[in-house]
Structures are given as structure tokens and as C-alpha cells.
């Protein structure tokens, strides 16, 4: 079976970090794991070229390939565009039309980076949690929405809406993942103030009782959950939550690991005809316009996103582990981009030098 991949580097540091991923893809290609790669535009660069943050043609390709790998979208240049033209709409269209309902955001702390965390080393060393964020519904997409008038003042409206089946399918994704990990799920919502939160908890409990009684299930209010993530993060295995809470909690969890430049994500949908899930992989970090084009960006989050693609789309778990191992080697050796420079100082490497180091570590592991 051919392995097809659509690469959407996007804006800001996206193209720079993606260039390093291309080298990693070629490295595996030269060793028998080949990919049929196509490339297109998303975000502000697509708006500049085509007047839309994602063309129908790019959307069609995304639907047809095994996996999409995205860099980042957005930047100050496009901030004043109409809502529908904004770079972020390109990403949200991909998520929605591919129906990528389960967003997997691991927060793992590499031992070599434990001192970069905003928390004390012993709270984060060895941390390995996974946030499963619902990605295609909730307040991001609910109707009605918009800014209108009520008498003589403006009203902003967004709707938080979840159907049972939307909750059930993302809950299953979380329980399935937990079974391959430490077998524990903590579900987070705000049932104390939201009816949709009451339904969320009920449905999660029903799916659990009927299909996953072997998995340990707990519940937390999302605000208390946020507090626990920074108080004692290692208590968590899998956290299951909705689109908006997941957006916030995953950024909070990201900082525990030392740098946003380290964190990958996978967004998965239903299986396609060939058995592989609809899938999009992207780093959690954004387009970082302040450092774009300077060769300073850390390519690791994007490369780790490719590792997730190897694992979840291409059934290449051994290769994924090898790539993650190579990154660990490089960090152990002390190779650091600017975002990973601690109080002890030193000279940061460039984006492409980090790529060089990772390829060398892969060579060493393959030897």
C-alpha cells in the first residue's frame, strides 16, 4: 500500500520547521519506508495567493491522502481580514470537513529538559500524559453565532452544543488510547454551570459502563482540572475534554514540558476505506511571527508530529520510536534551539542545525 502525505507548511515558522521534517521523511524513504508527498498552501499564504485560506483543490487532496502534515497558520499580516478569510479558518475547515473529532495532545517531559519547565523538576520529570480534545464541535462550531445588535448595543454570540454521539465517539477514542497506556481516563467539563457538561459526564459514564469497564474513569470540573495539571501533573494518564477546555488545558500542559516548541499533535477521524483513520498532524505551537524567517525555530514539535503520523497512520510504531529516541539523544547531547536555552546559557543551534543533529542521531541508531 502506498503511503500518501500532504504537506501544508503554512505561515510564519511553518515552512522552516517543515523543511526539516522533509529531510526526516527522505531519511526514512532512503531506508525502505517511502512516502508519496504532495505540498500545498494553507493559511495566510494561501489567502495571498488565492484569496482564501484553503482552496477547494487543497481540501480535496487532504481528503484523499493517508495523512496531512501541517506547519502553522496565521500572523499579524492577516489579523484584520474578515473572519471568514482569516488564516485560522483554513485549519478549522480541514478539521471540520475531514471530521477529525479526536485531537491527541501528548505532554511528555524529556528528562534532559525537565529543568526548563515552569514547575519544579520532580513534579514534571517522567511526565507522560495525553489530552484527548474533542475537535469538531462545541463552541468552535455551534450555531447560532455572530455579532448582532440587541436594541442599541452589540451582542456577541457563540453556542456550546454537543450531541450524544459526538461525546460518545471522542470518549471511545480516549478509552481506546488509555488501554494502550496506563488505563486511566479523567474526563473534564463544567457540569456545575453547563447543561452540556451534565450530558457530557452522563454519556462518558454510559460508554464506560457499556464498553470499557476495565478502564479507570474519574471526573473533574475543568477549572479544578486546570489547577491539578499545574499542581500535580503526573496524576494524569489520559484527560478527555471538549474543544474549548481542551484548547486551554493543552496549552497549560504544554508549558509543563519546558517549551511549546516540543509538542506534537494528531487529529484523527473515522477509518477510511483502506482502514487508516482520516488524519492531520501538526505541532501545538503557532506560527511565531516574531522569529519567523530567522532560522531560530525549534523543528522538534513538527518532527514529533511526523512521528505520530508514523505511529497512527502508517502502522510504523518501531520507526516512530526510533525517531523519538533520536530526538531524545540529541537533547541528551545538549543540542538546543533558542527556546530551550536555560539559565546556564550557551549557543543555540539553528533550525537546520537541529535537523542535522537529528539526522545524525538517526544514522547512529540505524548503524
Residue 91 near which of ligand IPM, Mg ion, none (CB within 5-8 Å, type-dependent)? ligand IPM
CA dihedral 227, 233, 237, 242 (to 10 degrees): 30
Q: What are phi and psi of 132, to 5 degrees?
A: -105, 110
Q: Say if residue 27 is exposed, middle or buried (CB neighbours under 10 Å; 0-12, 13-18, 19+).
A: middle
User: Is 47 tagged catalytic?
Assistant: no
Binding mask 244-263 for Mg ion (x = CB under 5 A): ---x----------------
User: Is 202 tagged catalytic?
Assistant: no
Binding piece for ligand IPM, criterion CB under 6 A, among 88-96, 189-197, 268-276, 301-309: 88-96
Pairing of strands 184-189, 216-221: parallel
Q: Can residue 66 be called a binding residue for ligand IPM (CB under 6 A)?
A: no
Return the C-alpha cell found at 104.
491527541
CB-wise, 189 or 247, nearer to Mg ion? 247
Q: Can residue 328 be called a binding residue for ligand IPM (CB under 6 A)?
A: no
Query: Helix axis angle, 300-312 relative to 317-332, nearest 10°?
Result: 160
- Please state the closest distance from residue 274 (CB atom) to ligand IPM, in A: 27
Binding piece for ligand IPM, criterion CB under 6 A, among 86-94, 168-176, 210-218, 233-241: 86-94
User: Is 223 tagged catalytic?
Assistant: yes
CA dihedral 213, 164, 281, 275 (to 10 degrees): 70
Q: Can residue 5 be called a binding residue for ligand IPM (CB under 6 A)?
A: no
Return the C-alpha cell found at 96.
471540520
- Binds ligand IPM (CB under 6 A): choice among 247, 319, 329, 339: 247
- Please state the closest distance from residue 348 (CB atom) to ligand IPM, in A: 25
CB-wise, 3 or 259, nearer to ligand IPM? 259
User: Is 190 tagged catalytic?
Assistant: yes
Q: Can residue 329 be called a binding residue for ligand IPM (CB under 6 A)?
A: no
Q: What are phi and psi of 48, to 5 degrees?
A: -60, -40
Query: How far is it, in rounded angstroms, from Cα 161 to Cα 142?
Result: 6
User: Is 128 tagged catalytic?
Assistant: no
Q: Can residue 88 be called a binding residue for ligand IPM (CB under 6 A)?
A: yes
DSSP alpha helix (H) spans, 30-145: 44-50, 56-64, 87-97, 121-124
Residue 99 near which of Mg ion, ligand IPM, none (CB within 5-8 Å, type-dependent)? none
Query: Among residues 300, 246, 308, which one has the least CA distance to residue 277?
Result: 308
Q: Which residues are catalytic?
A: 140, 190, 223, 247, 251
Contact residues toward ligand IPM (CB under 6 A) are 88, 91-92, 247
Amino acid at each position: 500500500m502506498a503511503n500518501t502525505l500532504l504537506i501544508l507548511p503554512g505561515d510564519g515558522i511553518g515552512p522552516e520547521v517543515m523543511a526539516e521534517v522533509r529531510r526526516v521523511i527522505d531519511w526514512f524513504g532512503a531506508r525502505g519506508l517511502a512516502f508519496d508527498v504532495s505540498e500545498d498552501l494553507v493559511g495566510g499564504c494561501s489567502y495571498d495567493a488565492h484569496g482564501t485560506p484553503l482552496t477547494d483543490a487543497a481540501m480535496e487532496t487532504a481528503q484523499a491522502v493517508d495523512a496531512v502534515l501541517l506547519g502553522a497558520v496565521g500572523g499579524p499580516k492577516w489579523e484584520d481580514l474578515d473572519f471568514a478569510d482569516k488564516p485560522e479558518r483554513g485549519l478549522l475547515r480541514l478539521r471540520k470537513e475531514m471530521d477529525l473529532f479526536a485531537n491527541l495532545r501528548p505532554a511528555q517531559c524529556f528528562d534532559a529538559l525537565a529543568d526548563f519547565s515552569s514547575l519544579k523538576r520532580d513534579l514534571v520529570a517522567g511526565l507522560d500524559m495525553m489530552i484527548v480534545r474533542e475537535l469538531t464541535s462545541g463552541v468552535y462550531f455551534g450555531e447560532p453565532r455572530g455579532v448582532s445588535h440587541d436594541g442599541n448595543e452589540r451582542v456577541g454570540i457563540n453556542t456550546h452544543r454537543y450531541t450524544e454521539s459526538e461525546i460518545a465517539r471522542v470518549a471511545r477514542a480516549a478509552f481506546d488510547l488509555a488501554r494502550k497506556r496506563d488505563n486511566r481516563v479523567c474526563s473534564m467539563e463544567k457540569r456545575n454551570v453547563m447543561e452540556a457538561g451534565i450530558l457530557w459526564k452522563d454519556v462518558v459514564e454510559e460508554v464506560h459502563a457499556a464498553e470499557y469497564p476495565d478502564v479507570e474513569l474519574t471526573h473533574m470540573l475543568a477549572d479544578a482540572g486546570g489547577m491539578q495539571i499545574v499542581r500535580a501533573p503526573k496524576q494524569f494518564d489520559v484527560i478527555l475534554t471538549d474543544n474549548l477546555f481542551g484548547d486551554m488545558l493543552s496549552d497549560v500542559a504544554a508549558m509543563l514540558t519546558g517549551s511549546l516548541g516540543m509538542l506534537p499533535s494528531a487529529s484523527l477521524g473515522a477509518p477510511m476505506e483502506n482502514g487508516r483513520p482520516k488524519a492531520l498532524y501538526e505541532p501545538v505551537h503557532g506560527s511565531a511571527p516574531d522569529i519567523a524567517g530567522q532560522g531560530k525555530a525549534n523543528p522538534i514539535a513538527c518532527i514529533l508530529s511526523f512521528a505520530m503520523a508514523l505511529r497512527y497512520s502508517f502502522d510504523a510504531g518501531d520507526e516512530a520510536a526510533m525517531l523519538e529516541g533520536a530526538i531524545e539523544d540529541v537533547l541528551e547531547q545538549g543540542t538546543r534551539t533558542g527556546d530551550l536555552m536555560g539559565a546556564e546559557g550557551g549557543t543555540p543551534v539553528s533550525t537546520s542545525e537541529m535537523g542535522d543533529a537529528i539526522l545524525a542521531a538517526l544514522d547512529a541508531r540505524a548503524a
